[in-house]
Structure formats: C-alpha cells, structure tokens
Chain A
Amino acid sequence: MRKEDMIVLENKEIARDIFEMKLGGLLVQDITEPGQFLHIHTSPQPFPLLRRPLSICKTNKAEEYLTVIYRAEGEGTRLLSACSKGSTLDVIGPLGHGFPVSDVSPGEKVLLAGGGVGVPPLYDTGHALKEKGVDVTTVIGFSDKGTVFYEDPFRDIGRVFVSTADGSYGTAGFVTDVMEKEKLAFDRIFACGPVPMLKALETKYPEAEGCISLEERMGCGIGVCLACVCHTRQDPDGSDYRKVCSDGPVFPWKEVVL
C-alpha cells in the first residue's frame, strides 16, 4: 500500500452518470489481485472529508496506469467527475483482497456476475482468468439501457449476457433471471453488485463455489476504524466479524451475512 498523487490521464462519461477514469502512478505496480480497490480523496479541502473507495477495473503495469469506474452520484463522486486530464488525485492503495484467481484451474467454467457499478472489478478478474485458460461467461445487469457499460470489453473475455431491470436492453429482469433463462452452468462464480443481487445469488446457488465482493461505507479503508464490518454466517449474532476493507472486499461464498 502506498499514498500517492496519481495523475488523471482520462476521465470520461461512458454511460449515463457512469465515468471511466484512467490514473497513472507507481501504485499500479503494487496491485497483486484483481478486485482490490483504491481509496481516493476527492477534494484537497476537508469537505468531503472522507476518501471514496473505488474498485480497480483495469490494470496495465507495463504502461503504469489503471482505470476505475464510478457513478457520479454524491458530492465526492461529482467532484471526481469534474477532474480534468493532467490534474492529480491523492490516492491510497491498492487496498483489500481481490478475487482468488490463483485457486482456479485451467479449463474450469467460471461465471462472472456483476450489477451496476459492481461490474468493474470483474473486468480485470475476467482477463486474469482468460489468461489462465479458464472458460469465462459474464452476466451483467443494469437498471436500464442508458446505464449499460462494458458489454463489448467483456466480449474479449468470453460470452456476455446483459439484463436490464426495466427491460429496455437485453433480457428483462436481473442477473439471476438471465442465468435461469440461459441455463448457465459453471464450476465457480465470482460476483459483485448490490446486496439484493448477491443475496439472490447465494440463495439460488447455495452450494456454489465462489466469491462475492462487497461495497460498504468506509472510514479509513485500512482496517482501523471498524466502520465497514459485517457479521459472519457462523456467528450471526455474536462478536465475530469481518472488515470489508481489509478482510475483503472479496469474501468466500456464504461466509458473511448479507
């Protein structure tokens, strides 16, 4: 982990309120797994005070840049969307544990399930899997046609299915509806998206092998403040816990209470 002023190389809207930002810096060399995240200060002023956690989408170590994708929604992400090329951002990272690509064997069938701004960390994950000779299928869900992104980039990795909640593009419904309709079979599943989506997946595929990546409000991002904790399934009412920032954000299937 390091703290670095990264250079904004590109920052563009790729779908409605969805921005792709390319950042350059040494920090890129420290990334060890797809699914790790950055903690970004969106303003040099004390408002917004806290950093914003954003998953790393794409890593290019040779050219020393990475990309993050975010929805300009609140004060912090709106400030981010206004950052121009050549400006710098105070970033700490890479943080957390990503998807355990090293556990997957060549030839395995892996399903990537993503929802909304939960889609980005699956991109690097998919690439790493493809490089290993894994058979990757991607199912990504969005609210409507205007917010769909990265359908084409995922096609370079394998088959892609898209759903929209309002039916304006792809299959009408959710990621789970597509999986049922297409009767998608898999040996392992890696998922990232809103909690209702992750809950639906764990309920429909209780025996599956795989991992989920969680999003949570964070303070420090490095495991100190205990803002982003969740209960474990083994001890749902007790004092056992996991920290989303430093134990996660990626957790084994059904390890934590959603």
Chain B
Amino acid sequence: MSRIAVELPGLSMKNPIMPASGCFGFGEEMGSLYDLNELGAIALKATTREPRFGNETPRVAETAAGMLNAIGLQNPGLQKVISEKLPKLKSIETPLLANIAGTTMEDYEEVAADLSGTGRVNALELNISCPNVKEGGIAFGTDPSLAAELTERVKAVSSVPVYVKLSPNVTDITDIAKAVERAGADGLTLINTLSGMKIDRKSRKPLLANQAGGLSGPAVKPIAVRMIHEVRRQTQLPLIGMGGISDVEDIIDFIIAGADAVAVGTANFTNPFICPELSRGLEKWLAQEQYTHLYDLQPKEVHSVE
C-alpha cells in the first residue's frame, strides 16, 4: 500500500499534495510542463458568478521570505469555467477542489450548485477568507455566525463535499472552525494569506495598487502550523494545511501539527515543478525513515480522521 495515499471527503488522493487555489490557475499552464496526474488533487482558482478582472497592478510585492499579493479574484466567471476551463481537465484523473467566492450568499449558492453539478468537480472550497476584495468574502470568514449560515446554505445545494477555507486574520481561528463544523462542513483548508502592506519609499505610498495584500511564502509557515495545531484540537474535521510549504520537512511539520493533507501555494511560483518533486521527496523520506504511512507521523491522540 502506498505510504502517501490519503482519503479525504470527495478527494481520493494518491499523495497528500495539491497546489493551493490561486497558485495554479485552472491547470492549463502547469499541464504543459508536467503530467497533472502526478498531483494528489488540484485546488482551482476561485470562481465567481460573473467574470472579474481583479485589481489593478502592481499586484505583487516581495517581502522578507515571502510575498504580498492582491490579485483580486480575477477569473473568467462561472459560465466560462464550466464551458472552457473544466473540459480541459477531463483527460486527467486527479480530483478537483473548486474554490468558490462571491459577494452575497446567493452568489455562493449559485456557483456551488452549478460547479458541483458538472460532475467533474470532486469537492468545493468555500473562499470566505480572501483579503483582497472589497466586499463579501472576508466578511463571511471573520464572523462565526455568518460563516456557519453560508456553510449551511452551500451544503444544501452542493452535491459534493464542502471544505471551508479559513482566514488567519481573526482573533481566534477555532471559533470559525467550530461554527462551520456545526453547520455541516466536510473539511477545512487553512490558512489563507495574512493581510499585510509594503511601502514604496520612492512614492511614499503603499506599493500595491490595492494598498493591502495577502502575505504568503515561508514567512507565514509558523503561523499556519500554530493554527492547524489549534484547530486540530477543537474539531473532528479533516484539515488541508497550507502556508509557506516549500520542502519535504515543511510537509512533515504540517502533518505532525494535525493536517491530513497539504497544499502548496507560493512555492509554485518559484519552482513550477515543486508539487511532483515534493511528492517524490516525501515518499522517499518516509521509506528511508521506515514509516509505513504518512499518518504514522501523527501523535495518535490527535489524529481524528477515520
């Protein structure tokens, strides 16, 4: 049996590694570089009801061991995602986690119903934590009762499991985690980016056109690990951990902290081949260390997934 295969609701993964939403588009570009079947799953770029251009540029800024981005959920909209993007992923077997975003609960319901109805999407990821859009989104991710209501409504219309993507920009991430668990979420993905800002000293203004952006990369890893560790102790839900993962050691830390699978974000930008490299590296490391499965790394009393 494979040391690295994992089973999560809707996602039967041959390895625990998926590219994170927004760091892989809809797979077309990376699909021309390597076989997407090598991935455990793919988290697709956020889909909204209507097409979105997103924010003006500059949209990215480099920081110490990290980067800020404020793309602004640019995407071609629900209809084009269904008619143009998903068909291009038909020939691969890798499970798809479709990230959905919106400004109203009705937006989320419509996108959830239509995307889950395509038959090609294996699970949904509710984006209630994007720090880069002015309205909606993040509001649902910082208020436990709104997050719970949205989860319940999306669950009611979705024919596939629903994961909720949590924001780290809250006082206590476990409040939201517990609220969406009670509302019927099938899993959690965490963490989204941390809200930050970079100043352009020449112009004496924020560098990003959107002013603030989401911080990602190795700089955020300790925060992500701490939050996964906390959430693991407060919920029974499967967790997909992310935040600054760029090597095999990082994945091991996330699994020990309580993640059941991981997502790789920013590292795809510095090395487009990172995901398949990490899954091969992880398998090799586990074999060398004589673990029969990845989950043997986890302290027994903590791991709560069946």
Interface residues of A (CB under 8 A from B): 1, 3, 41, 46-51, 92, 216-231, 238-241, 246
Q: Among B30, B65, B74, which residue has its beta carbon within 8 angstroms of that of A46?
A: B65
Known A219-B60, A246-B29; further 10 A-B contacts with Cβ < 8 A: A49-B63, A50-B270, A220-B268, A224-B25, A225-B269, A226-B25, A227-B58, A227-B59, A239-B53, A239-B74
Query: Could you say which residues of chain A place their CB within 8 Å of the CB of B234?
Result: none
Q: Is A219 a contact of B69 with CB atoms below 8 Å?
A: yes
Known: A46-B217, A239-B51. A223 touches B25 (CB 8 A): yes
Q: Is A48 a contact of B51 with CB atoms below 8 Å?
A: no
Q: Is A3 a contact of B74 with CB atoms below 8 Å?
A: no
B290 at the interface (CB under 8 A from A): no
Most A Cβ at <10 Å: residue of B52, B57, B61, B218:
B57
Chain B nearest CB from A105 CB (Å) reads 32
Chain B nearest CB from A194 CB (Å) reads 14
Q: Is B23 a contact of A226 with CB atoms below 8 Å?
A: no
Known: A46-B246, A239-B52. A224 touches B30 (CB 8 A): yes
Q: Is B53 a contact of A220 with CB atoms below 8 Å?
A: no
Q: Among A3, A49, A225, which residue has its beta carbon within 8 angstroms of that of B217?
A: A49
* Docked pose: A55 CA to B63 CA in angstroms: 24
Chain B nearest CB from A51 CB (Å) reads 6
Query: Could you say which residues of chain A place their CB within 8 Å of the CB of B217?
Result: 46, 49
CB nearest neighbor in A for B246: A46
Q: Is B25 a contact of A217 with CB atoms below 8 Å?
A: no
CB nearest neighbor in B for A225: B269
B196 at the interface (CB under 8 A from A): no
B66 at the interface (CB under 8 A from A): yes
Query: Could you say which residues of chain A place their CB within 8 Å of the CB of B60?
Result: 50, 217-219, 225, 227
Query: Could you say which residues of chain B place their CB within 8 Å of the CB of A48?
Result: 62
B12-42 vs A, Cβ < 8 Å mask (1 yes, 0 no): 0000000000111100011001000000000
Query: Could you say which residues of chain B place their CB within 8 Å of the CB of A239?
Result: 51-53, 74, 76-77
* Total interface residues in chain B, CB < 8 Å: 37
CB nearest neighbor in B for A241: B53
Complex A-B: 28 CB contacts under 8 Å: A1-B33, A3-B271, A46-B65, A48-B62, A49-B63, A49-B65, A49-B67, A49-B218, A50-B269, A217-B60, A217-B61, A218-B60, A219-B67, A220-B269, A223-B25, A224-B23, A224-B24, A224-B272, A225-B22, A226-B59, A227-B57, A228-B59, A229-B54, A229-B59, A230-B57, A239-B53, A239-B74, A246-B29
Interface residues of B (CB under 8 A from A): 22-25, 29-30, 33, 51-54, 57-67, 69, 71, 74, 76-77, 217-218, 246, 266, 268-273
CB nearest neighbor in B for A47: B65
Query: Could you say which residues of chain A place their CB within 8 Å of the CB of B66?
Result: 46, 49
Q: Among A1, A50, A229, A231, which residue has its beta carbon within 8 angstroms of that of B67?
A: A50
CB nearest neighbor in A for B61: A217
Q: Is A223 a contact of B29 with CB atoms below 8 Å?
A: yes
CB nearest neighbor in A for B73: A226
Q: Among A1, A41, A47, A229, which residue has its beta carbon within 8 angstroms of that of B74?
A: A229
Q: Is A224 a contact of B29 with CB atoms below 8 Å?
A: yes
Query: Could you say which residues of chain B place their CB within 8 Å of the CB of A225?
Result: 22-23, 60, 69, 71, 269
* Docked pose: A246 CA to B23 CA in angstroms: 15
Chain B nearest CB from A10 CB (Å) reads 26
Known: A224-B29, A246-B29. A229 touches B65 (CB 8 A): no
CB nearest neighbor in B for A244: B57
CB nearest neighbor in A for B56: A231
* Docked pose: A224 CA to B65 CA in angstroms: 20
Query: Could you say which residues of chain B place their CB within 8 Å of the CB of A3?
Result: 271-273
* Docked pose: A51 CA to B271 CA in angstroms: 9
Query: Could you say which residues of chain A place their CB within 8 Å of the CB of B246?
Result: 46
Query: Could you say which residues of chain B place their CB within 8 Å of the CB of A228?
Result: 57, 59
